[in-house]
Amino acid sequence: MNSRPSRHPPTLAGGLALSVATVILCLLVAEGIARLVDPAASLWHYPNYIRETAHRPAEERQLAYDPLLGWSLIPGVAGTLMGKPFSASSEGMREHNLGTSPAAGPPILALGDSFTEGFAVGNDDTWPAALERTLGRRVLNGGVRGYGIDQMVLREERLVPKIRPQTVVLAFIADDIDRTALSVRDSKGKPYFVPAGEGLELHNVPVQTALSSPWFDAARDVLGYSRLLDDIMTRLGATELWYGDMVRTGADGTVVSCRLMDRLAAQVRRQGVKALVVALPQYPGWSDPANGAFERRMVTALLGCATRAGLPTLDVFAPFEREGVGRDLDAYYVQYHLTARGNALAARSIAAALAANGE
């Protein structure tokens, strides 16, 4: 009589190993399918999508860590940006109109984000460059890409005592209001304010650049190669967590920005300089009516705060609308920023507002 072979029940370890192997196999199959159906992906090319998003070669060449502001232009840097000539002065401000003699007298200091710096145009095609030619007065371009209103105000407090301008023009877009509620933007640490009583309290100064844990960074280094996970996190709206390029403070950006207008007004009064707060319209505000309505509410609210603080204001939306910008967006916007034509229109509007305020 033949004996039947003995069968041993599977061990717990064996069962777990089989389960893990099955899950890994399913994920690999799903990863392959995700790459096959996505025309932008490849079965043979495996970039780390997280690191690619965080890697911005132009910024690495032109921006440096700043303990107060998070980042700022490298003094004296020169090269190109978006294929256009780019250079910064020894004071770390974008240069323009170098072929002309600088006007005498106290300058105008322009502050803002990439719209003011001139992200998609050459040195002489920014709105501060056009404003200088329009007024025949020296205009210094203190705009820095990615800044929120909090960084603009802190930069004003740093630069005005050194430069002693006659007027400060702070130009913002609706997105800059939301940026005041971030402690990390574009994977870079930044200062931020939180409401404290009736005022504001400054945090993260000196700015900390490594605000995520080593374990989280290690996980990104491995999981970032998955096109499947990149697609899933994008569809879930979890890109801030996935890419780690933005960290929110929990503060209300509208409240913080409104109180920053009070801070700016108090500063310019102490410094004895004039000021103008300017709202520049964004591309999505023209192309998407719902987005445009939301943008208008944010901008109007902040300009109201500036007015109550005693600051002159200008909303460039009206002159842009009269010019018919919405009917020919490509003539006025490139890469979501103003073209030379758009900047010239903004400069004319700002020049008129300055004249109306007796400047």
pLDDT the model gives residue 210 = 54
Average pLDDT, the chain: 88
Instruction: Identify which has the larger pLDDT, 32 or 224.
Output: 32
**Mean pLDDT, residues 209-226 taken together:** 65
pLDDT the model gives residue 244 = 61
CB 107 within 8 A of CB 163: yes
pLDDT band at 216 (very low <50, low <70, confident <90, very high): low
List C-alpha distances in Å: 291 to 104, 146, 246, 288, 325: 43, 20, 21, 5, 16
With a cut of 90, say whether residue 56 has pLDDT above it: no
pLDDT digits (tens, 9 = 90+) for 64-77: 999 999 999 999 99
pLDDT digits (tens, 9 = 90+) for 155-186: 999 999 999 999 999 999 999 999 999 999 98
pLDDT digits (tens, 9 = 90+) for 7-37: 666 677 777 788 878 877 887 787 778 777 7
Q: Enumerate the domain spans of the chain.
A: 13-45, 56-209+248-356
CATH architecture, domain 56-209+248-356 = 3-Layer(aba) Sandwich (3.40)
pLDDT the model gives residue 224 = 66
**Mean pLDDT, residues 289-317 taken together:** 95
Q: What tokens does 198 get?
A: 């009736």
pLDDT digits (tens, 9 = 90+) for 89-136: 999 999 999 988 877 789 999 999 999 999 999 999 999 999 999 999
**Mean pLDDT, residues 315-344 taken together:** 96
With a cut of 60, say whether residue 239 has pLDDT above it: no
Instruction: Identify which has the larger pLDDT, 178 or 219.
Output: 178
pTM, entire model = 0.82
pLDDT band at 87 (very low <50, low <70, confident <90, very high): very high
pLDDT the model gives residue 20 = 77
**Mean pLDDT, residues 185-189 taken together:** 87
Backbone angles phi, psi at 278, to 5 degrees: -120, 135
Least confident window among 22-26, 262-266, 302-306, 327-331? 22-26
Instruction: Identify which has the larger pLDDT, 210 or 171.
Output: 171
With a cut of 80, say whether residue 43 has pLDDT above it: no
With a cut of 60, say whether residue 278 has pLDDT above it: yes
pLDDT the model gives residue 335 = 92
